[in-house]
């Protein structure tokens, strides 16, 4: 009777994309999903980027995160401490954590190293839900979150490219690939 945590990140970028090493987290969204597939709790915070504190026009338009939002936010070490305190109350029931694809895991690991942060998640199994969905649906190649929802007969709910909404929509696909119910 454990829980799964689904995480989505938004990060600094520009049209055409940046190398992951150049990107910084600007929003963390996490949805804690119970064995019945329903959300039990959630976490969402905007993060102030340090290396490139000014968001590009492309990034602001894509994420709907304003410059004022990030200017008023705390840097990642502070936000991550808040996340870890929130996660600690759920740690005893946490079975694993998931993200749509491997980017979010890799970005977190990179920033943990850069900021010398420790995370409970480092000791919890990660599931690449995009790959699990491809395998469960026997697809020829991976699809985006929006397409996966459509294939599952669902519509995206909320604003795309916002971390919590993306995490919640990703979490809706988790019961399709995991035996969440006893």
Q: Using one digit for the tens of pLDDT, what is the confidence trace for 86-136?
A: 999 999 999 999 999 999 999 999 999 999 999 999 999 999 999 999 999
For residue 80, the Cα-to-chain-centroid distance in whole angstroms is 13
Q: Who has greater pLDDT, 61 or 181?
A: 61
Q: Do 163 and 29 form a contact (C-beta atoms < 8 A)?
A: yes
Between the alpha carbon of residue 38 and those of residues 3, 8, 58, 93, the distances in Å are: 10, 17, 33, 15
- Amino acid 36: pLDDT: 74
**SS3 at position 66:** coil
Please check the confidence at residue 29 and state whether its pLDDT lies above 70: yes
Hey, how many other C-beta atoms are within 10 angstroms of the C-beta on 138?
6
Q: Do 44 and 52 form a contact (C-beta atoms < 8 A)?
A: no
Hey, how many other C-beta atoms are within 10 angstroms of the C-beta on 114?
14
The pLDDT-based confidence of 43 (bands split at 50, 70, 90) is very high
The pLDDT-based confidence of 182 (bands split at 50, 70, 90) is very low
Residue 27 half-sphere exposure toward CB, CA atoms < 13 A: 24
In the chain, the domains with their CATH numbers are: 3-176 (3.30.420.10)
Residue range 39-63: mean pLDDT, rounded: 97
Q: What is the pTM of this model?
A: 0.95
Residue written as tokens 């049209």?
15
Please check the confidence at residue 35 and state whether its pLDDT lies above 60: yes
Return d(Cα 75, Cα 120) in angstroms, integer. Answer: 19
Hey, how many other C-beta atoms are within 10 angstroms of the C-beta on 111?
20
């Amino acid at each position: 009777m454990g829980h799964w945590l689904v995480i989505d990140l938004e990060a600094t970028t520009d049209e055409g994309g940046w190398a992951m090493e150049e990107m910084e987290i600007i929003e963390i969204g996490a949805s804690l999903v119970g064995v019945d597939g329903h959300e039990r709790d959630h976490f969402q915070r905007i993060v102030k980027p340090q290396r490139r504190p000014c968001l590009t026009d492309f990034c602001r338009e894509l994420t709907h995160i304003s410059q004022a939002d990030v200017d008023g936010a705390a840097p990642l070490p502070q936000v991550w401490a808040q996340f870890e305190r929130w996660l600690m109350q759920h740690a005893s029931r946490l079975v694993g954590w998931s993200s749509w694809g491997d980017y979010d895991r890799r970005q977190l690991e990179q920033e943990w190293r850069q900021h010398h942060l420790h995370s409970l998640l480092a000791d919890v199994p990660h599931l690449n839900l995009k790959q699990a969905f491809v395998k469960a649906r026997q697809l020829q190649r991976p699809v985006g979150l929006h397409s996966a929802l459509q294939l599952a007969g669902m519509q995206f709910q909320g604003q795309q490219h916002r971390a919590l909404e993306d995490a919640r929509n990703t979490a809706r696909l988790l019961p399709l690939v995991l035996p969440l119910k006893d």
